[in-house]
Structure 1
Amino acid sequence: MEFCRWINNNHRVVSSILFTDEATFTRDDINITRNYHVWSDENPHATVESNFQHRFSVNVWCGMVDSYLIGPFILENRLTEDNYLNFLQNELQGLLEDVPVNIRMQMYYQHDGAPAHVARQVKQHLDERFPGRWIGRGGPINWPARSPYLTLLYFCLWGWMKNEVYKIKVDTRDALIRRIE
Structure 2
Amino acid sequence: MNRLTPEQRFQIVEIYFGINRYVREVHRALRPFYGQHNGPSEQAIRAVIDRFRTNFTLLDSKPSTRQRNVHTEGNIAGVARSVEEDAEMSIRRRSQLVGLCPSTTWKILRKDLGLRAYKIQLVQELKPNDHR
The TM-score with structure 2 as length reference comes to: 0.23
Higher relative contact order (CA 8 A, sep 6+): 1
TM-score by length of structure 1 reads 0.19
Q: Could you say which structure has the higher strand fraction?
A: 1
